[in-house]
Amino acid sequence: MKNSSNKIIIIMFIVFLLSVNILNIVIPDKEFSELENRVLSQIPKFQLNKLLSGQFTNKFEEYYVDQFSYREFWVGFKAKVEKLLNKTENNGIYFGENGYLFEDYESPGNKIKDNTEIINEFSGKHPDIATYFLLVPNSIKIYEEKLPLFASPYDQLDSIKVMKDKLNKSVEFIDVYETLMKNKDEYIYFKTDHHWTMRGAYYGYTALAKELGLNYYKMDSFNSRIVSKNFLGTYYSKAQDWSISSDSIEVFYPKFDIQYEVSYKDTNKSTNSLYESSHLEEKDKYSYFLDGNHALITINTSIKNGKKIAIFKDSYSHSFIPFLVNHYEEIHVIDLRYYNLSINDYLEKNNIKEVLFLYNVSTFSKDNNIRKINY
């Protein structure tokens, strides 16, 4: 009887493996995972030299993992099992209290110092340009009391301190940590995503405005509206915890009269809105703000004060810019991940005398593109 049971189990296992491999062959490869918001690996081209060096094998393994049939189901199933086993993380994402998800933050090594030196070099080359840097802590620092008991991420305040200490005096550092901590009881970070909310960005805007001498708009100068209640962000995509509740997206619209002309230079699209509502029907709903990632965006306003500023940024700026834009005639938004022309030429051509670097700690700790500012 025991031998028969073993044979049945072995046969079932073989059938399962065969079925999975047949499905992997029959089901067409996907180019993009909407759930994970990333491009998936495609089958690598065979070359003998790459096979001998191991590159082909590594690429094929990436391809197989990415294109594994019903991959998203299995990732979610794994996360569910790990939670039942009282595991506190999955795929580098911690399961925090009150439905919060947090991405582990590891020591950046020398990357913070190296990137800071690049900004110092930029400032040295452009003494006529007022340069500001706003480095935003991630939710893992602001809500560290919600982390699992034995979670031990690297302290983001140490990274912030390194940058503050290394920055030349010609670069003004905007410290938003205390401001965010004072308002942490509000909904200032998404629970399932790596971004701050627009409410969190508002508090970052007030900190910057104070340092720049701008008369910032009080919160009651804006109408707020919830445009989505079913946003599941990047942390959810990695953790795949089906029990996590979705986030809401709150948006602030000025009560005062102002017009915008927004030009997306890489797609030749122009609009009079800072928001793109079509993204609310997609997985990546955060792209509602400024239509997601673009190499270059210019925003002209009805404010005729002659003020211009260029912003070098990551996507934390997308929910921040709708506040700052109300103080400038022109804002030039440059994403160094995608922009490959000369920054020096661009600043000179557009006669820009103010520059803001806006990054979150996690992104800045790994960024390899900021070196482009000195081209």
DSSP string, 124-181: HH-TTSEEEEEEEPPHHHHTGGGS-TT--PPPHHHHHHHHHHHS-TTEEEE--HHHHH
Q: What pLDDT is recorded for position 52?
A: 61
Work out whether the CA dihedral 21, 27, 32, 33 comes out positive or negative.
negative
- The stretches in the chain having pLDDT less than 70 are 1-41, 43-87
- Is there a contact between 41 and 66 (Cβ–Cβ < 8 Å)? yes
Interstrand relation of 101-103 and 93-95 (parallel, antiparallel or unpaired): antiparallel
- Which residues lie closer than 8 Å to 112 by C-beta, 6 or more apart? 159, 162, 163, 166, 364, 365
Domain residue spans in the chain?
2-98, 109-374
- The Cα–Cα gap between 316 and 201 comes to 8
Provide the pLDDT for residue 20: 45
Query: To which residue do tokens 């979670």 refer?
Result: 151
Tokens of 274: 């800072």
Contacts by 81-89 with C-beta closer than 8 Å and gap 24+?
83/241, 83/243, 88/148, 88/149, 88/150, 88/151, 89/148, 89/151, 89/239
DSSP state for residue 367 in the 8-state scheme? -
CA dihedral of 81, 87, 88, 90, whole degrees rounded to 10: -50
- C-beta of residue 95 within 8 angstroms of C-beta of residue 185: no
pLDDT at 256: 97
* pTM of the complete model beyond 0.85: no
Of 176, 101, 183, which Cα lies nearest the Cα of 139?
A: 101
Residue 81: per-residue pLDDT: 58
Q: β-strand 222-231 against 247-254: which pairing, if any?
A: antiparallel
pLDDT recorded at residue 61: 57
Q: What is the pLDDT of residue 13?
A: 46
Structure tokens, 151: 């979670």
